[in-house]
């Protein structure tokens, strides 16, 4: 019996020693934790601050994305409207170009017909320069020479209007020396409208002086 009691006492002493050892270690760790508590609290406060800032940044980003999204939608709508307007303008321009091309063709045909009539009235049987592209220059020179031969000597400088370029150098003194009767006598092949136009141009030139 006394031996068994001694064994139990030794066992209790060992367990108490182990308990004391672990208690000392726990106390040491608690002391370390208490010494670092302020640092831990500071880290927690900084983490909380960063979380708050992150939430504010997310809110601002959400608001900014909403605003920019609306601006982008307005710009896209405006660009779409401008694109539609440009499409309409392009279609209108194409239509206008087509009409102008048709008008140019009609005017060319009218001009060719007028030239043919004028050439036919001056030199019957002669074709217009537009219908004879290969011999346009020679035909025009021949008609001009024939017409000049039929004019009086003082009127050799005047030629068929349809056979000469639109730009020509004229002598004002020579134009002023001619009156309407001279025009009627000198150009028997000119129509009344052409003689009236020449007289109006002469009166306009004299009025400027």
pLDDT in tens, 11-40: 888 999 899 999 999 998 888 888 788 888
Query: What is the Cα–Cα distance from 111 to 105, expressed in whole angstroms?
Result: 10
| Residues contacting 154, CB < 8 A, separation 6+ | 186
Alpha-carbon torsion (52, 55, 61, 67), positive or negative: negative
By residue count, the chain amounts to 209
Could you tell me if residue 88 is left (phi over 0), alpha (psi between -120 and 50 degrees) or otherwise beta?
alpha
From first to last of its 209 residues, the chain has per-residue pLDDT tens of 677 788 888 888 899 989 999 999 999 888 888 878 888 888 889 999 999 999 999 988 888 888 888 899 999 999 999 999 998 999 888 889 988 988 888 888 888 888 777 767 765 555 544 444 444 455 555 555 555 555 555 444 444 444 444 444 444 444 444 444 444 444 444 566 667 777 777 776 565 55
How high is the pLDDT of residue 50? 92
163 in Cβ contact with 156 (< 8 Å): no
Say what the pLDDT of residue 53 is: 92
Closest to 170 in 3D by CA, of 137, 204, 121 = 204
- The whole-angstrom separation of Cα 27 and Cα 132 is 123
Helix, strand, coil content of the chain in percent (nearest 5)? 80, 0, 20
The CA-atom distances, in angstroms, between 162 and each of 105, 120, 157 are 18, 12, 15
Q: What pLDDT score does 154 carry? A: 47
Per-residue pLDDT tens digits for 79-93: 999 999 998 999 888
């Amino acid at each position: 019996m006394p031996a068994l009691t001694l064994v139990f006492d030794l066992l209790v002493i060992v367990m108490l020693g182990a308990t004391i050892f672990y208690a000392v270690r726990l106390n040491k760790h608690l002391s370390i934790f208490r010494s670092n508590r302020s640092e831990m609290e500071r880290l927690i406060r900084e983490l909380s601050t960063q979380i708050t800032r992150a939430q504010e940044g997310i809110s601002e980003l959400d608001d900014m994305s909403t605003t920019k999204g609306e601006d982008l939608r307005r710009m896209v709508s405006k660009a779409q409207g401008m694109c539609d307007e440009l499409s309409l303008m392009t279609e209108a321009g194409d239509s206008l170009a087509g009409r102008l091309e048709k008008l140019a063709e009609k005017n060319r045909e009218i001009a060719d017909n007028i030239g043919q009539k004028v050439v036919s009235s001056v030199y019957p049987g002669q074709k217009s320069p537009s219908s004879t592209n290969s011999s346009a220059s020679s035909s025009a020179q021949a008609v001009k020479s024939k017409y000049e031969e039929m004019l009086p000597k003082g009127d050799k400088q005047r030629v068929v209007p349809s056979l000469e370029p639109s730009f020509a150098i004229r002598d004002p003194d020579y134009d002023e020396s001619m009156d309407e009767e001279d025009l009627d006598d000198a150009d028997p092949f000119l129509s009344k409208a052409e003689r009236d136009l020449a007289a109006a141009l002469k009166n306009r030139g004299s009025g400027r002086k």
